[in-house]
Structure 1
Amino acid sequence: MQQDKQPEYGPVVFRDRSAGFAFLTRSTASSDQTIEWDDGNTYPVVDVEISSESHPFYTGKARTVDSEGRIAKFERRYGDES
């Protein structure tokens, strides 16, 4: 394997600013911004728009689909064409 072609794999903080949620993990993602983490070390930080803390599916704020309305619309359009 060629060493020069592999991306650098190291600790990175992913942060969701809208939810105030951040976690430290290892990744090939890089960033010019840094953050001081709870352990006192400085790590690159990648800001994400949505995470498990702000996604409607995980927070329980997801909208349910009106399946009865969809069925009625289908029957109006295609039902009983005899």
Structure 2
Amino acid sequence: MRTGIHPSSRPVVFRDRAADVAFLTRSTAASDRTIQWEDGNTYPVIDVEISSASHPFYTGASRVVDTAGRVERFERRYGSLAPAGR
């Protein structure tokens, strides 16, 4: 493998503001802001809008979509688009 072509990886804290959760992991992302972590060390912090702690797919908080009601509402507004012979 060639040397000197890969960015340097370092510990970084990713903070999810929506869920008020922080993750310490390794990343090549850089930040000017820092945070003191639970272990007493200071790490760069990057705020994210969504993470596995707040995303509906990972939390299981999904909405039930009423597709039958949507179809009926569409047909009431615009009429049935099916040919008359059906």
TM-score interval for Structure 1 and Structure 2 normalised by the shorter chain: 0.7 to 0.9
1:46 equivalent to 2:46? Answer yes
RMSD: 2.1
Per mean C-alpha deviation after superposition, the further-off stretch among 14-23 and 65-74 is 65-74
Cα deviations across residues 26-79 of structure 1 (Å, max 9, x unaligned)?
Answer: 11111111111111111111100111222233251x2222122355458x6444
For structure 1, the residue ranges without an aligned partner over 5 or more in a row are: none
Contact 1:13 1:22 in 2 (8 A): yes
Q: TM-score, normalised by structure 2?
A: 0.72
Partner SS state of residue 39, structure 1: coil
Write the distance in 1 (CA, Å) between the matches of 2:80 and 2:8: 56
Write the distance in 1 (CA, Å) between the matches of 2:16 and 2:60: 14
Show the counterpart of 2:29. 29
Per mean C-alpha deviation after superposition, the further-off stretch among 34-43 and 64-73 is 64-73
Write the distance in 2 (CA, Å) between the matches of 1:50 and 1:29: 17
For structure 2, the residue ranges without an aligned partner over 5 or more in a row are: none
- Rg (Cα) greater in structure: 2
Q: TM-score, normalised by structure 1?
A: 0.75
Tell me the CA shift for residue 2 of structure 1: 4.3
Write the distance in 2 (CA, Å) between the matches of 1:53 and 1:77: 43
Contact 1:53 1:59 in 2 (8 A): no
Contact 1:32 1:44 in 2 (8 A): yes
Indicate the structure with greater helix content. 1
